[in-house]
Structures are given as C-alpha cells and as structure tokens.
Chain A
Amino acid sequence: MPRFILRRAYFATLTILLVSIVVYGVFSILPFDPAALTCGQKCTPAIVEANRVKLGFDKPLWQQYWLFLSGIFLGRTYGAGSAEFTCPAPSFGYSFNENMCVTDMLAEALPVTINLAIGAFVIWITVGVGLGLLAAKFRGRYPDTISSVFVLLGTSLPTFVTGLFFLIYVTIKWKIVPLSLEGFTPITESPVKYLQYFILPWLTLAILYAAFYTRFTRATVLETLGEDYIRTARAKGLSERVVLLKHTMRAALAPITTSAGLDIAGLIGGAIITESIFNLAGLGRMTLQAVYEFDLSVVVATTILAATVVITMNLIVDIAYGYLDPRVRMK
C-alpha cells in the first residue's frame, strides 16, 4: 500500500511540474509585451526596457521559469535600489496592477473559493444522493418522476442563467435574500452574513451538480440492486432499509467519492461564472479580472494552482478508492 501511494504521489508531482512548465511556457510566448502594460502614458522605450528588467522578462525563458520556480521555495525580490522589495516564499510572482505579491492575493481569494466549493458540495451531495436513492427505491413511481424532471432541468440550465436569475429576481426584485454588502465574512464571525453571502452562489452551483449526482446515484444503486449479494442480503431477511443504506450504498460510495473529489477540485479552479455573477472575491473572479487586464503573473499562478488542486484531488481520490474498493489495491 505505501508503495502504491508513493508511486502515485511521484507521478502527481511530476505532472504538476510538467503542467507548470507548459502553462508558463504558453503564457510567456504570447505576443504582447507585459512590460509595456506596466507603463503609464508618457511611456518611452527606455521605461519599458527598465520595467522589462525589473520584471525579469529580459531573461531567457528557461531562466524566467527557473526564477518563478525558485520563487515558490525561496521567495523573490523585485525592483532595484531603495524601491526593492521581496515577496517571501512561497512567492508566485508580483502583480503590478494590484501592487501585491500574488501569494497575498491568493491568500485573500482562496478562502472565498474554498467556502463556495465546500458549501455547494454539501448541498449537492445531500440533495443528489438523497434524490437518487429515493428515485431508485421508488423506481417508476412519482418520486422517480420528480427526480427525473429535476435532473433534466438541472442539467439543462447553464449556471449563468440560474445565477443571473437568482441575483436578479431573488436578490434585486423579490429581495428574499438581501444583498451582502460586507463581502466575505468568515462563519465564525457572523453566520448570518456568511450565509447571506454564499447561499445563492451555493444553490447556483449545487443545482447543476445535484442533478448529475441524482442521475448517477440512481443508476449505480439500481445496478447494484441486481447483484447477487444484495439478493443474499434480502434472503437473509434484512430490512429493505438496511439493504439499501448499508449494502447498496457501500458499493455506490466508491464511484460517488471519485467524482465528488474531482468535481470539488474542478470548482476550486472553475467557479468563474458563479463568482463573477455574484461578485464573490474568489479565485475565479480574480483570474477573470487578471485576464481582462493582461495581468500575467496572476493568470499563470492561478492556472497552475488550479491544475495542482485537480491533480492532488486525483491523487487523494485514487488513494481513497484503494481503501473503499480493495480490488484496486491488488492491481
């Protein structure tokens, strides 16, 4: 088992490194001059050149990458003379639009995104698995019909349509959930403000995912119910509830965990639409803003971070799968 984990971890690290090289390379060969964008209106070639040096864009690509990589572990110094300053390790670069070390920006944005992802996850897993189980248990009867309508709507409503609908109607027009002015408030500080900030974004994301999970759970459970060991369990006279919740769910758990892990990872890097509609100051909105402003260091950092989360989650899911489904370990 430890060898299996080590091997996976080794490959995951390798992939992260490779992804970072590709991302860095792709963004660095792009056809515009990031140095020119840091320059005001009376921009002379001399100033652009000075900025290029300051940002390290004058160096060959591999050196730039090396500086970036070593910055993650050692921190990085920018500027010269008395305007010199350091972004301490782990440094993901410096944003000249925001005048901030990218790491500090990430530290501000990540809690929002993680709270968004986890809250949405709790809702969708409860609703999705619950509805899926119900649908499987009452197959062909009205809970099944309701759930299939939900699945259809949920999978067909693009998040930006649901999101806009919530924002415009629920918040602006009907005022059911008043607008959150405070911005992100940790739950420990004020649960009400926390909820006010997150509830609609959560629902927006959860509707889509819950629909997928309903469909998924239902299919898995139905498939398992046909297995021999379930028949055995029933023959033993176990109650239907025990059969459903203990024996069937156990089998369905592994595939659900797998997709859940990957979906959460995807959300941390990909809630761009939800975050920008609801103005949540998370990773997605930050990236979108950076894209609009050609803030390369931010874009590179967030992309690599998102990839890292996906890869790490893959790893965790792989390992967890090994525990949940012993057959995998044997291979």
Chain B
Amino acid sequence: MVSKLKSANASAAGQIISRSPRQIAWRRFRRNKVGMVSAGISIVVLMLSLFAPVVCKILGINPDELNLDLIDSSGIPTLPNGGISREHPLGLTPGIGRDLLANLLYGSRISFLVAFLTTGLAIFIGLIVGIVGGYFRGRIDDYLGRFTDFLLAFPAFFMIVALSEPMVARIQETGIAQGNSARVIFLIFFLSFFGWPGFSRLVRSQVLSLRERDFVTAAQAMGASRKRIIFKELMPNLWAPVIVVVSLSLPGYLAAEAVFSFLGIGIQPPATTWGILLDNARRFVTVYPNFFLITAGSLVLVVLAFNLVGDALRDALDPRSER
C-alpha cells in the first residue's frame, strides 16, 4: 500500500509542490489533534523517565529515601491525601514511605528498557526473516514459514511464565548476569523470541507484494545487485508498516513487563517497577486507594498515549485505512 502512495505522489508532482511521502505523512499526522497530544504526552513521559535522576533532583525527591516517621503502624502515610504535598507531589508509598513520583519515574526506566529492547530485537529478527523469506521464496521461505508457524503454536505467555524461574536460574549460573539483570535479559530475550514471528509474517507479506511491483522488476532488469534491491528498493518501503507496528507493540510490552513483575516472576525488589508498585497497591487499596489509582492511572495513561500515537501514525502512513 505504501508503494501506491509513492506513485500517487509522482503523478501529482507535476501540478503542485513536490512532497515526499514522508512530508505527506507528517502533514497528515499533524492534522490529527489526538495523535499530536498523545505524541506530546509520550515524549514527555519518555523524557521524564530517561532523565529521572535529573527530574528527581530538581523536584527534590529521592526514590530510595524512606520516610518511616510519616507512616503509621498499619503502613499508611499519616499525612492527609497520602502525603501529597510540595515535597512529595504524588504522595508516599505505603509501608515505608518512599516518594511515589520518584518511584514511578525510576520504575518506568526498567519498564521502558524492557519494552524498547524487546521491540527492537523482535523487529530486527522479524525483518531479517521476513525479507529473506519474502524475497527468496521457494524452499527457504517454506522452511522459515514452517518455523514461524511452529513458534506461533506455542502458548507464548504461558511459556514465558513457565520458563521464568528455571531460565533465570540458568542465566545466573552461566554468570552472564545476576539478579535483576538476569531477569531483564530473560524478559527481553523471551518476549522477543515469541514476538518476532508476528513481525516476520507482516514483513514477508509486504515484501512478497513489493517484489512484484514495477520498480523492483525494473531494478532487476537493470541488473541491480541483490543487496541493492533489498537495501535500496525494499527496505525504504518497509519503514511505514514497521513504524506502525512498533508504536502499537511498545505499549503491549510495557504492560507485559508490569504483568510479570505483578505475578512475582519479573523484576524483584528492591528495584521498583510499575508492576511491583501495583502489587503493593493491591494490599493497601481499602485503606489507601490513592496509591492504586495513581499507579494504575499512570500505567493506563502511558499505554493509552502510545496506542493513540500508533493509531495516528497508521492513519498518516496508510491513507487507505478507514478510521
């Protein structure tokens, strides 16, 4: 579909100002107010997370500082509204009175790390396998197709849950990483391992249709090398679907990380992630509902923003999509 965009653009080029597909997509994206706002939110959240140490310093909050004196014997902050104040913008966590905002910010770093690396790795493998399968077709494609089908037959979430403890133990034993690093590696590796077949299917179908297009046939007729065709002709036309998939799968992986921490098989304390915070929130919800609402609200807000950016991108990049 993207190539259609290209040709449409070419025919229009003579009459109006010439615009690249990128510019067109960007103009279309800018017109989508919801998309713009969400993109703004997403970028702000990402920046806050990336620069969490600086942000915390500016706000004068510290994720590790305990405020045991502000907590009563039931673990609830003694100040009104769960301790929301200038010193603690979102209040304190129950139990030991850490600053909630600082913990959300620091916690999001692990979540984003997992989400980005997983998406990156899955896309990378998916691209290679998809292009190879779609371009060479024949027996190679057959084998790769069988293999992706085979992987898709695994109950992925189930496998990751089941493998978590033993595999983490294995990683630690080999000495590659210990503790939470081992857990992060496990999550990234296995989430992407079960995630790439989806990407590869998408890429393959795109490549299959692209290679029948005139411009590829033309390049082949001109004697372009295989490398040139793949990198100069096919790849540039794949970025649009890929970017859409990336923006839609990021929030998925973000939530996945939280789920695993929540189930107690992801990152372990004393590290903080949103899943761990939510697990804590569950214990205090009847006495301190703010904690649950703020933590769950933050997660939903971020996932929502990313989803909306993904939708907007798709609308912008794929003019045929009906939304």
A contact set with B: CB distance below 8 Å: 15, 18-19, 23, 26-27, 30-32, 148, 152-153, 155-158, 160-161, 164-165, 168, 172-173, 219, 222-223, 266, 269-270, 272-273, 276, 284, 287-288, 291-292, 294, 299, 302-303, 306-307, 310-311, 314
Contact = CB atoms under 8 A, between A and B. Distances in A.
Interface in B207-235: none
Interface in B291-316: 292, 296, 299-300, 303-304, 307-308
A292 B265 CA distance: 8
Contact of A269 (B155, B164, B170, B296): B155
Contacts of B255: 158
A288 B260 CA distance: 11
A314 B300 contact: no
Interface in B158-206: 158-159, 161-167, 169-170, 173
Given A168-B292, A272-B158, A294 B165 contact: yes
Contact of A158 (B161, B169, B264, B303): B303
Contact of B169 (A30, A153, A307): A30
B150 A15 contact: yes
A165 B282 CA distance: 9
Contacts of B307: 152, 155-156
Contact of B153 (A27, A156, A307): A307
B154 A19 contact: yes
Given A160-B259, A266-B155, A303 B165 contact: no
Q: Name the 7 nearest CB pairs between A and B, nearest first.
A: A269-B155, A30-B166, A306-B155, A156-B304, A158-B255, A156-B303, A168-B285
Interface majority SS (helix, strand, loop, mixed), chain B: helix
Contacts of A160: 258-259, 262, 278
Contact of B154 (A27, A165, A307): A307
A172 B285 CA distance: 10
Given A15-B149, A288-B161, A291-B161, 5 more contacts: A156-B251, A158-B259, A161-B278, A168-B292, A307-B155
A165 to B, nearest CB: 7
Contact of A311 (B153, B157, B259, B278): B153
A31 B292 CA distance: 38
A152 B162 CA distance: 31
A32 B158 contact: no
A152 B299 CA distance: 14
Contact of A31 (B170, B259, B262): B170
Nearest to A18: B150
Contact of B157 (A26, A270, A307): A270
Contacts of A172: 285-286
B265 A291 contact: yes
Q: How large is the interface on B (under 10, 10 to 19, 20 to 34, 35 or more residues)?
A: 35 or more
A272 B161 contact: yes
A256 B159 CA distance: 26
B322 interface: yes
Contact of A32 (B164, B166, B296): B166
A282 to B, nearest CB: 12
A152 to B, nearest CB: 7
Q: Point out which of B155, B157, B285, B323 has the most chain A C-beta atoms below 10 A from its C-beta.
A: B155
Contacts of A273: 259, 262-263
B300 A161 contact: yes
A302 B150 CA distance: 18
11 contacts: A19-B153, A31-B170, A158-B259, A161-B300, A173-B286, A223-B322, A270-B155, A291-B162, A291-B265, A303-B155, A310-B153
B153 A15 contact: yes
Contacts of A299: 162
A25 to B, nearest CB: 12
Contacts of B158: 269-270, 272, 284, 287, 302-303, 306
Nearest to B275: A160
Contacts of B170: 30-31
Given A30-B169, A270-B158, A273-B259, A152 B153 contact: no
B169 A31 contact: yes
Contacts of B259: 158, 160, 273
A219 B314 CA distance: 14
Contacts of A310: 153-155
